[in-house]
Structure 1
């Protein structure tokens, strides 16, 4: 599998990253172990998790995904062969992360998070430590198509970015993390973190993990130029739009066992205009002789600005399919057809 450089670091990550957020909720520990074994066997060297996982977040399951990964690495004795990424939550009123209080991106909370993650993962360090979502008030995903109705609203106790970044500098110096990344972030956020590091505060940003798929190409509007010029890697999550780009939800279907059927958390992909757009892309995939999931994954992996495509699966056949998409040749004809639909349909699911 192709390896791509992570930011300006000396790390080269696989073009496909193994996402893990279903482990401990939809997937058992044994299923997680088999997924990791298969992915590594196919050339994947990059795994992404979070202190929040599994999804949906609940106090009784929080951290379980990291525990599964840690037990697998100890059993396989392969920590040095895995590029491991995890995340700290941003501002949240949920108190179960810190044990007795809401969480913010302040020193005490970040240290609490990394210490717990390292313990669950059974390792002394993580290769990439990411802020899962900003502390400041921004729309989820931080790349909306409209500004909203409350521009400029800020929390009075918003933690300054420089203060947060300085804590990550401490973690690097302590050897607890190697590199720093963001997630669900905007162009402004990316540049503010870079500006602070250029001023000598904390480590330089190496990656941003944002949603990117056929029905959400908002990354291209500003972030693609920002990140290309600043050598910040895109780690693209939700390439299948939470399963809506597999075709299984077409025409309002709700198959048993599917995520949106189980948890009713698919609102990001149930916006006005989304059903028509999703069906159009799924039908386009079929017109090229591909399953919609193959087409959607191949599209994301093929983009010049994507360093790694974070896939997720709840079954081994799904994982086999996702891994095999690295062998699909993305053609100019496919791109022209996709761009034609996008010109008409836009980004219905930012």
Structure 2
């Protein structure tokens, strides 16, 4: 397992990260704990959660359950807490199941962190992330009609300064070690970096945005910014919510799969998606590669990639991913992938 730096923090993380958003819904607590043990044994030291998890569906009665499951593992394995680089997230404005939908602010940060620490049964969070910006985001298919003109620059920057001061206090208390973003833009990331320099607040170490063979919004301005500023990408949905496995081709909807629970796949489902997936499946087949392992290996090879976050509903799925953890793609395969991308750009 290759290890990558978490920004400029000095913390090293595996280039595969265990995602946990199904822990507590599709994945039971005993299965989740076995996955944690399996991942550590395979060299994965990075695990990602959020206070709003689990999802599929998100429900008021289950919010926080994923962190509780991780916390129960921590309580049962107190001497092993340091083996994980543990990441979680503060929900953004509009999430009504936490703080009545309040935006992220200097006032909400201490309360949110204390809640996560309690559920996680730990004294510190290695990477604390903002789940989405208060001003909104073009992620989650909002890029098709994104309009940034409704925001107020001075208000946004003032909120950022306040948040950085609150985060600085949390670092000083030892509650968090590093700060990361999620679903952010190039402008937003640049401002967080600039204001951290001005205020002495924690510098952005990572950004967690969607990225896969089917979703490549990150490839231009954010890629350049993050590469030159040492902000590592944590790619979520690197398998495009399971599309890249091929399991949804030809109208198939396996029982218990995400599509069986969320039919439109968060806006990802379209005829163009299935055509694009077919092109990548053909490349994998032509070169004798497993499409899941090929898709993750491609992500891991991107120059701005820190860690690709994968979710495994079952232990068998996790083992399948671990079997291909060290796969390196040939130049020929990468060239064919580039041509497929040109033929099928942004299918959702």
TM-score range, shorter chain: over 0.9
Distance 1:314 1:346, change over 3 A: same
Q: What whole-Å deviation, never above 9, does each CA across 1:51-89 have from its counterpart, x for those lacking one?
A: 010012211101111111111122122111111000001
Unaligned runs of 5+ in 2: none
Distance 1:239 1:149, change over 3 A: closer
Distance 1:149 1:136, change over 3 A: closer
**Alignment match, 2:248:** 249
**Alignment match, 2:135:** 136
8 Å contact from structure 1 (residues 301, 326) kept in 2: no
State the 1:164 CA deviation.
2.0
Cα distance in structure 1, aligned partners of 2:160 and 2:146: 24
State the 1:136 CA deviation.
0.4
**Alignment match, 1:52:** 52
Distance 1:275 1:154, change over 3 A: same
Cα distance in structure 1, aligned partners of 2:222 and 2:106: 28
Residue aligned with 1:310, SS: strand
Distance 1:149 1:31, change over 3 A: closer
Cα distance in structure 2, aligned partners of 1:228 and 1:297: 19
**Alignment match, 1:62:** 63
Matches within 5 A, 1:252-291: 252-264=251-263, 266-271=265-270, 273-291=272-290
Cα distance in structure 1, aligned partners of 2:148 and 2:134: 16
Cα distance in structure 1, aligned partners of 2:196 and 2:272: 41
State the 1:326 CA deviation.
2.0
State the 1:200 CA deviation.
1.8
Residue aligned with 1:273, SS: helix
State the 1:209 CA deviation.
0.7
Shifted more, 300-309 versus 25-34: the winner is 300-309
**Alignment match, 1:36:** 36
**Alignment match, 1:328:** 327
Count of residue pairs the alignment pairs up: 344
Structure with greater proportional helix content = 2
Residue aligned with 2:69, SS: helix
8 Å contact from structure 2 (residues 140, 266) kept in 1: no
Moved over 6 A (4+): none
8 Å contact from structure 1 (residues 137, 153) kept in 2: no
Shifted more, 264-273 versus 71-80: the winner is 264-273
Cα distance in structure 2, aligned partners of 1:63 and 1:237: 19
Give the TM-score, by structure 2 length: 0.94
